[in-house]
A = this chain, B = another copy of it.
């Protein structure tokens, strides 16, 4: 006999436990929670995911998740279309939007170059970024990728591709240094070291 009193229950737990970071014990708790909800509620829960999967659209311009062919940001006349912020994924767009500090548009790569995970330049939206830039009207791209080896590799790859294509626009990257509100003594050595080397003028 299986550990579970019901095969249907076991299958539901298996599915829930397939989510990253959800263990089998948590999965069982979540499934039994769902089972206590009404038929309509469980239906609504399940439908949300199948509907998203079936009907989701990726913006033709920036490749962000969207309900329309062109996402609201790319479609907005109030955004500055001459600056493109290059990010890894949807969450990063949301995080930058939440800062309220950026009024340009985005380009969502959908990943970063990672030989360890077998992700090469062709697996992410780099070609489409170059196409977009070569159409003209773009003055600057801001590289806002993770400050990791993979992020740096991807940054450098994009830089080289632009060079090779003879495209001469401003390329910037998000500032790196000690995070606002952090204690110096708890900042890691590499960040702290670089923040001294790359110190900026004090505007008093």
Residue numbers in B under 8 Å from A35 (CB-CB)? 52-53, 56, 65
Determine if A135 is an interface residue (Cβ-Cβ < 8 Å): no
In angstroms, Cα B151 to Cα A94, docked, is 46
Other-chain residue from B8, B19, B28 in contact with A33 (beta carbon distance below 8 A): B19
- Whether B91 lies near A52 (C-beta < 8 A) is no
Bound-state Cα–Cα, A50 to B11, Å: 11
Q: How large is the interface on A (under 10, 10 to 19, 20 to 34, 35 or more residues)?
A: 35 or more
Does chain B have a CB within 8 A of A47? yes
**Interface residue? A14 (CB, 8 A):** yes
Answer whether residue A167 sits at the interface, using C-beta atoms and an 8 A cutoff: no
B32 adjacent to A89 (CB under 8 Å): yes
Q: Complex Cα distance A39/B57, Å? A: 14
Q: Would A56 and B93 count as touching, CB distance under 8 A?
A: no
- How many subunits of this chain does the assembly comprise? 2
Residues 63-94 of chain A, each 1 if its beta carbon lies under 8 Å from chain B, else 0 = 01111000111000000000000000111011
Is the CB–CB distance between B8 and A19 below 8 Å? no
| Binary contact readout A6-24 vs B (1 if CB under 8 angstroms, 0 otherwise) | 1111011011101111100
The answer to whether B50 and A43 have CB atoms under 8 Å apart is: yes
Question: Which of B6, B21, B28, B56 lies in contact with A56, CB distance below 8 A?
Answer: B6
Additional pairs, 10, CB under 8 Å, beyond known A11-B51, A28-B91, A39-B53: A5-B72, A6-B56, A6-B66, A20-B29, A29-B91, A31-B49, A34-B52, A42-B53, A46-B46, A46-B49
Question: What are the nearest 5 A-B pairs in CB distance?
Answer: A46-B46, A15-B48, A42-B53, A12-B48, A12-B52
Q: List 5 A-B contacts (CB under 8 A).
A: A5-B90, A12-B49, A14-B48, A18-B45, A19-B34
